[in-house]
């Protein structure tokens, strides 16, 4: 929220949300086409692959300059991408008996979206969350938290805590994915070989428990770990409000 206040308060800052889609003229290109292409580029190659040139190539016979008329800048394109991804997060249509179930559903659906678009968690902290779908999602969270007894200031803080958990978890997945791709560990066989090598190092270093786990990994998977920590967080918020 501090980033939002700073951005909104800075003179001369131009946000894509204050610039409507330009009228179609001779080119059939539209803003929505550019956003879909940019998301496809980032889905395939990660946030580091996102350039105006790459998006233009994905679209076909266009130059990067042809895109700027529709999205203003790369920052404008990132804003549009983030909000388009957020639009994939469904909000509960009706309030349930327990508002905590609503908050859990929004967090879980955001987690699922962020796993589909690994670049989302990498790019979200770089831009203010002012897109219409992002603001609609936050407004929903705030209303639920107020209904649970939080004042507005606390509700904003709690919503931020929940989002940090989702984005932090997704960013970890994205960075690990990028690391594996960078080191050539992007196939099951290569990953297994790397784990076996790490097990050998652990055994040589006398790290018995670590080596034993690497030999036969057990325990909660990624999604279950996310749910466990989300439960801890929601229970903690509820406990503080009931205190």
Q: Looking at residue 83, what is its pLDDT?
A: 97
Average pLDDT of span 201-216: 87
Identify whether 215 is part of a domain: yes
Q: Tell me the CATH number at 227.
A: 1.10.357.10
* pLDDT over 90 at 243, yes or no: no
Identify whether 72 is part of a domain: no
| DSSP per-residue letters across the chain | -HHHHHHHHSTT---GGGSPPPPP-S----HHHHHHHHHHHHHHH-GGG--HHHHHHHHSS--HHHHHHHHSSHHHHHHHHHHHHHTTSPPPSS--SSHHHHHHHHHHHHHHHHHHSTHHHHHGGGS-S-SHHHHHHHHHHHHHHHHTT--HHHHHHHHHHHHHHHHHHHHHHHHHHHHHHHHT--SHHHHHHHHHHHHHHHHHTT-HHHHHHHHS--S--HHHHHHHHHHHHHHHHHHHHH-
Q: Looking at residue 166, what is its pLDDT?
A: 96
- As for how many domains the chain has, the answer is 1
What is the domain range of residue 131?
99-242
Identify whether 173 is part of a domain: yes
* pLDDT over 70 at 62, yes or no: yes
Q: 219-231 pLDDT, tens per residue?
A: 898 899 999 999 9
Identify whether 35 is part of a domain: no
Q: What is the pTM of this model?
A: 0.85
Identify whether 3 is part of a domain: no
Of 146, 172, 147, 169, the C-alpha closest to 157 is: 146
* pLDDT over 50 at 11, yes or no: no
CA–CA distance, 195 with 185 (Å, rounded to integer): 10
Average pLDDT of span 172-195: 81
Average pLDDT of span 24-41: 87
Identify whether 27 is part of a domain: no
Identify whether 18 is part of a domain: no
Q: Looking at residue 195, what is its pLDDT?
A: 80
CA dihedral (140, 131, 223, 115) in degrees, to 10, reads 160
Q: What is the mean pLDDT of the chain?
A: 88
Identify whether 200 is part of a domain: yes
Average pLDDT of span 208-224: 87
């Amino acid at each position: 929220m501090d980033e939002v206040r700073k951005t909104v308060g800075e003179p001369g800052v131009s946000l894509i949300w204050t610039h409507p889609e330009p009228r179609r003229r001779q080119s059939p290109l539209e803003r929505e086409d550019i956003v879909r292409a940019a998301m496809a580029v980032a889905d395939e190659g990660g946030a580091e692959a996102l350039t105006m040139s790459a998006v233009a190539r994905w679209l076909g016979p266009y130059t990067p300059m042809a895109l700027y008329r529709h999205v203003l800048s790369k920052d404008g394109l990132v804003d549009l991408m983030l909000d388009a991804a957020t639009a994939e997060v469904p909000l509960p249509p009706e309030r349930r008996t327990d508002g905590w179930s609503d908050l859990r559903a929004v967090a879980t659906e955001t987690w699922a979206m962020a796993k589909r678009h690994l670049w989302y968690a990498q790019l979200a902290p770089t831009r203010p969350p002012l897109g219409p779908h992002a603001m609609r999602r936050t407004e929903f969270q705030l209303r639920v938290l107020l209904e649970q007894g939080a004042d507005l200031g606390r509700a904003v803080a709690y919503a931020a805590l929940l989002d940090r958990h989702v984005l932090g978890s997704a960013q970890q997945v994205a960075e690990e994915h990028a690391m594996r791709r960078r080191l050539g560990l992007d196939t099951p066989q290569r990953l297994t070989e790397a784990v076996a090598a790490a097990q050998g190092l652990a055994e040589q270093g006398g790290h018995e428990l670590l080596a034993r786990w690497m030999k036969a990994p057990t325990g909660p998977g990624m999604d279950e770990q996310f749910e466990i920590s989300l439960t801890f967080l929601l229970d903690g918020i509820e406990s503080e409000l009931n205190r």
